[in-house]
Amino acid sequence: MELSTATDIIRTLAIVIGLVLGLIELRQARVARKRENMFSLVSAYQIPEFWSALEKVFRMPNNLSRKKVAAYFGKDRHMLSLLISTFESLGILVQKREIDISIVEDFFSGAIVISWNKLKRSAEDSRREQGRETLDEWFQWLAERIMEREKRKNPIPAHIEFKNWKSR
């Protein structure tokens, strides 16, 4: 074999090996990013005000106007703002594909859907009053995507879906 042929083969192998290693590195980076996103999701929502607002929304009567929601929350309106802005942020991150919707569903599907159903009228009132359709848009978008996905495949509670799960 000639030296130039051997050199070409070695160069080609080096390029192929470099591409394979690059693809492996890219895959590992994606997995790490997904894991980081999940940890961020968990830690970001360990705020007592978020959970208090969620509990309060769950107990709230259905179909309240914006004014009645404001009165219901009273001095705790900042907690409601935190809850809504959290779901707004999640909607943006899902739409931009920074966080996979299945991860958001695992953590918050019930909370998002129930909260949207409870706060929908209030959001519509705010939009009308402010003349701005973009208020709570990502919260609504996310809730609607989750509801669409649940129509196609009913959610199975983890304690049922994974009841036969074994640790390694």
pLDDT recorded at residue 33? 78
Q: Where are the domains of the chain?
A: 1-44, 48-161
- Alpha-carbon distances of 156 from 16, 61, 146, 163, rounded to whole Å: 44, 26, 14, 11
Q: H or E stretch including 109?
A: helix 101-130
pLDDT recorded at residue 1? 66
pLDDT recorded at residue 4? 77
Q: What is the pLDDT tens value at each position of the chain, 168 positions in all?
A: 687 787 888 888 888 888 888 888 888 888 777 777 666 766 767 788 999 999 999 999 999 999 999 999 999 999 999 999 999 999 998 999 888 899 899 889 999 999 999 999 999 999 999 999 999 999 999 999 999 999 998 888 889 988 888 887
Task: Report CA dihedral (111, 109, 154, 122) to the nearest 10 degrees.
Answer: 50
Burial 65-74 (b: 16+ CB within 10 A, else e): ebeebeebbe
pLDDT recorded at residue 6? 79
CA 68 to chain centre: 28
Apex 22 CA angle, 19 and 28, nearest 5: 145
pLDDT recorded at residue 8? 80
